[in-house]
Chain A
Amino acid sequence: MKMMTSNHIDEIKKIVKSGRVLTDESDRFSYSFDGSFGTFLPDAVIQTKSTEELAQLVKLANREQIPVYPRGQSTSLSGGPLPVKGGMVFDLSVMDDLLEIHGEDLVAVVSPGILTANIHKAAEQKGLMYPPDPSSSHVSTIGGNMAENSGGPRGLKYGVTKDYVIGLEVITPEGEIIKTGGSTVKNVTGYDLTKLIVGSEGTLGIITKAVLRLIPKPQGSETIMAVFNSLIDAGSAISKILSSGILPSKMELMDKASIAAVENYEPLGLPLNAEAIILIELDGHPLALKDEVKQAADLCDSVGAREIRIPQNAEERAEIWKARKLVSPAIARIKPTKISEDATVPRSKIPQMCMRLQEIRDKYDVHLVVFGHAGDGNLHPNIICDKSDKEEMRRVEQAVAEIFTAAIELGGTLSGEHGIGLMKAPFMEMELGAIGLDMMKRIKESWDPNNIMNPGKIFPEPGQKLELS
């Protein structure tokens, strides 16, 4: 990797005719962070809507071995867009001009800087739905969502981002512009490069356009809130419902600590002495819904739910989901630092994972809050700590490592949706094995022979360890 020189900057400015090249210190600092940890200064930040100009810049970068870091809105929780080796940051949030809904083909064609919530809105206006719903939808870009293969509560029934991307335009790390996939749901022509790029965390190329699959919007939805005296019982209720033939559109879990945090933040009348709450959303035809609501409520009852609430109108429903939405901000008020993990286990292993998490919490004496997309096994164990307390942070490091181990031992994975990025790179081999990891590396090397595209991510550097303190 080479240092950037003023000649490079001059050449970059010559290429970027339609946009801006930012090199002031205030700008460089402003593109040095994301939603996780660390400060890494880029040498230059590029903002242009022109795919051609970006491709030329990548050619320059490849020739001169300058790192390139694609960036959406930098809400990544894993260090994805951090320019850890300097070089150029491409601010792709400025590519926000294209958002077309093709009702007859059931697809959307979008540029990467479009905010995901705007796709939700546009689809809904035509009676359609773009299901992936990360809770950061209103602030994250579809480009970032694709690169991280983001998901949300609806993942349980509808899947995640990768299940809806069917075509891409990509700038390769050698500066060529290619198209993958197309506008059809079925497509078996050659390797599925679309799926390879989705979830590649910006290490295999820059997405400059995408075709997304849409589905008809469900006609109705209902919500159930079930309250439990034990976290393990709540886990059993989840498994029971999932094996009963009903497929809820969302199934979310909140533990005691997250209930308390939300009530502290904004009193919503949640039961403070409960050990866990699960929130279930069912969607579909109104007649079928009636039946399923009753069945799901009965199942919760049968495993010992102490209370079941079924809101009667849209407002009451919104109130219940608000509680879930508030967990993340509410827990951030307890202590300044929030380590947000997204280890995921097979659905049947949820009760065991809950147990392991409680053990880890006690063993390392950390403030652990558990909530998340219980329906698909994607729990969010969050550790609330104070990064200025070095001793506490060392305990947190150990607890995080043990959470990963537990997830993998139960047949699960390091990351359900936030990506590997910087923080989880050291644990890759534990999940994939040496050969599995090496096969991935070989893919990276053949796409990006000079390792200029988002270098320092996914693959651990020799001796790299998780460092929070």
Chain B
Amino acid sequence: MKQSLEQLREEFRYEKTNSCVQCGYCLPVCPTYITMGKETHSPRGRINLVKMVGEGKITDLSVLEEPLDLCLGCRACETACPTGVEYGSILEAARAALVRRKKFSAPVRLLRKAMFQKVFPNRKIMKFTGNAFWLYEKSGLQKAGRTSGAMKRLPNHLGDFEAIMPQAVSPAERKKTPNRVKAKGEKKYTVAFFTGCIMDAMFQRINRLSVQLLAEAGCEVIVVPKQTCCGALHSHSGEMEETKRLAKQNITAFEQAGVDFIVNNAGGCGAMLYEYGHLLEDDKEWADRAAAFSAKSRDISQVLVSCGGLSNLHTYPGELVTYQRSCHMTNVQKVTSEPLDLLNSVSGIRFIEMEQADMCCGSAGIYNIINYDASMDILDRKMKDTKATGASVIITTNPGCLLQMKLGIEREKLSESVRAMHLIEYLAEAAGIS
């Protein structure tokens, strides 16, 4: 593709790289810089590579591929950056620019298309996947798979993921999720619940508990039917057109509901919803609607705290609990204190923060499947810090983190003594809801 430097600059958002003064303040927080040990995999290094494209010094764009592929997109660098470099949008633009040029091999292209355009956004297919999980688990296949080691031979280490698949909900129960739930006691807010594609397929139980806890706290909860995937995985992979299409579908679906908040329980999805405003800012027709949507988007912990928290939460005295933060919740939505407030309201709990609590666990969407080895290096570091706390419960606020922490527990052979749970599961347990 022949292009003028001007066009390249625009496409790669070169002007945004100029606010990077190369101070290196982002280096100590970048998980890939720490585990891979070279500047090529640091935020400063990645930004510089994009800068070099904009200055015409790098002409072979494939030079950027590996460094950008290996970025987790955790955006810890943004939080650390003193000059406010918008790393997320530089990364997004650069990835999209590379995707546009990339000649994937035919099977990969088909697979990408199928996953991104068909599977994630389609509630029916994701439901089917969920049902397949259920059958798989109930039929004893999962047990057979686990013991025979057959799963271990799956490509890309999918076998490792098999061990951590969630307990599935039966198809009959899945259908039971109601579309409207009344507030318990005095109604404080009316909220719409964002189900999310992966949460809906794999963690239906957590979704159901979320709705129950919201009602418990005083929310009337609506589950809007035409909602779809948030588009985060598409956006991280540079599939921007598809991301925008999904965003528009969600905006349309939710704006008719007329609610106070749009509530989600997945840090990664929440961050995407929070950024719809930014995603569509150049689209005249949609900019205002997108901004209004994002302004209403909340993580469930924020809404529960706004409602005054939950009462009568108990666990056994002295239960040691730690929290693996969701990067996107911390660095994009900037939601940090609410989950801790909720945890600390459980009587009996002993909360203990791990070292480098803000560091990514390495799950990062589907990073752990695509970049398995890099992800496991990051996970192993994370598990060291987790183990040092001595906690028997690891709380997470995002499905990817939840699976990754479960994987970490398996890898460390701690499954007898340590549980990874979504915050909602833990609160529900403490409230005696099952």
Contacts and interface: CB of A to CB of B under 8 A. Distances in A.
Interface of A: 20, 22, 24-27, 29-35, 39, 45, 47, 73-75, 91, 94, 115, 136, 138-140, 326, 328-329, 332-333, 336-338
A26 B66 contact: yes
A24 B66 CA distance: 11
B348 interface: no
B346 to A, nearest CB: 28
Contacts of B40: 22, 24, 26-27, 30
Given A139-B27, A328-B82, A26 B64 contact: yes
A136 B26 CA distance: 12
B19 A35 contact: no
B67 A139 contact: no
Nearest to A388: B18
Nearest to B39: A30
Given A24-B63, A29-B63, A47-B37, 8 more contacts: A20-B38, A25-B60, A26-B49, A33-B22, A139-B24, A139-B25, A329-B82, A333-B83
B28 interface: yes
A22 B38 contact: yes
A27 B70 CA distance: 14
A338 B23 CA distance: 11
Contacts of A33: 22, 48
Contact of A94 (B21, B23, B28, B37): B37
Contact of A332 (B27, B58, B66, B82): B82
Interface of B: 18-19, 21-25, 27-28, 37-40, 42, 45, 48-49, 52, 55, 57-58, 60, 63-64, 66-67, 82-84
A151 B5 CA distance: 41
Shortest Cβ-Cβ A-B pairs, 5 listed: A329-B82, A30-B45, A30-B39, A30-B40, A336-B18
Contacts of A326: 82
Binding site of B, secondary structure by majority: helix, strand, loop or mixed?
loop
19 contacts: A26-B63, A27-B40, A30-B42, A33-B48, A34-B22, A35-B21, A35-B24, A39-B52, A47-B38, A74-B22, A75-B24, A91-B39, A115-B28, A136-B24, A139-B25, A329-B83, A332-B21, A333-B84, A337-B18
Given A74-B39, A329-B83, A25 B23 contact: no
A29 B19 contact: no
Given A25-B63, A338-B21, A30 B38 contact: yes
A35 B20 CA distance: 10
A222 to B, nearest CB: 27
A329 B37 CA distance: 26
A71 to B, nearest CB: 9
Nearest to A326: B82
Nearest to B82: A329
> Most chain-B CB neighbours within 10 Å: which of A30, A138, A326, A332?
A30
Contacts of A29: 48-49, 52, 57-58, 63
B24 A73 contact: yes
Nearest to B18: A336
Contacts of B23: 35, 75, 136, 139
B48 A30 contact: yes
A140 B19 CA distance: 20
Contacts of B63: 24-26, 29
